[in-house]
Amino acid sequence: MSGEFTPVDLTVGADRVRIHGTRGGDGPPVLLLHGFPQTHAMWEPVAADLARDHTVVCTDLRGYGGSDRPESGAGHLGYSFRAMAADQVAVMAELGFDTFAVVGHDRGARVAHRMLLDHPGTVTRAALLDILPTAYVYGHVDRALATAYYHWFLFIQPDELPERLIAGDPIGYLHTLLGGWGSGPGVHRAEALASYERAFADPAARHAMMEDYRAGASIDLVHDEASAAVGQRIAVPTLVLWGEHGVVGANAEDPVTVWRRWAVGPDLVSGRAVPGAGHFLVDERPGDVGSGIRDFLTS
């Protein structure tokens, strides 16, 4: 990431995972988390704007981009949203921020959701972009969703099956993903696309991404069930944004209504569709998304 941003490379946690990213700006801290199959490079236009009056930290999740790709371990625990959330909280603590706002897209938003449950009092505000709760998605699978989210069910197959299939043409496959879910091809900046291609060309990175999805269909659901059983819910103001033309926007229920059931009170959750955008709404409509995030953070 260019401009006034400087690299962040910190080794954190009991398993000593190195997390890569950038930091820029000055003011209240906000952490930006990317999703699949991207890296922190997706945030550059939004980060540059927020850095005018915020300290902005953009990181790669473990397994993605320039961050380490640790072993998954038993039960895919190493790529659970709990492990990923702990990484990011530790990074922010190392940078001197015990409390901060978090904005996540796709898998990064699922990490942010887990962060809200596992680290109460740490996150002051959260923005969740183009997702519905993981448990909700798996509980409402129909033909349309299974078709649109086929990769959820491909990637959770046993180790090496999806990895071997994708290895035949990884960059070609990456491009089909980046042009899907309501977003057309060509919406990604050249510098960002190059970052995604570098990461996806690495077989270890692709394996880590599969492990992320395997965890999402197993240990993450166990964690979600345990949190629900003890009444853990979102307890801070939360913004929900989704692409008008994406899969989340086609959901039978309004996404804000869904997310309010995961919060301690309905007034905590607000949101809207981003006009003209699909799943990759940050890349397609950075100005609209950035202004929405800025308004939310400063309200």
What confidence score (pLDDT) does residue 4 get? 86
CATH of the domain at 223: 3.40.50.1820
Q: Which helix (H) or strand (E) holds 47?
A: helix 44-50
On the CB side of 238, CA atoms within 13 Å amount to: 32
Cα–Cα distances in angstroms (integers) from residue 134 to residues 18, 105, 213, 278, 282, in the given order: 26, 13, 11, 19, 21
**Does residue 70 form part of some domain?**
yes
Sign of CA dihedral 240, 95, 286, 198: negative
Report if residue 170 sits inside a domain.
yes
Q: Which 8-state DSSP code applies to residue 270? A: E
Is residue 279 annotated as a catalytic residue, yes or no? yes
Please tell me the total count of domains within the chain: 1
Q: One of 34, 224, 279, 283 is an active-site residue; which one?
A: 279
60, 106, 130, 220: the active-site residue:
106
Q: What is the tens place of the pLDDT at every residue in 192-247? A: 999 999 999 999 999 999 999 999 999 999 999 999 999 999 999 999 999 999 99
Residue 80 lies in a domain: yes
Q: Look up the pTM and report it.
A: 0.97
If residue 207 lies in a helix (H) or strand (E), which one and from where to where? Answer: helix 203-216
- For residue 84, what are the domain limits? 6-298
Residue 1 belongs to some domain of the structure: no
pLDDT in tens, 105-141: 999 999 999 999 999 999 999 999 999 999 999 999 9
Q: Write out the H or E segment, with its range, that includes residue 286.
A: helix 286-298
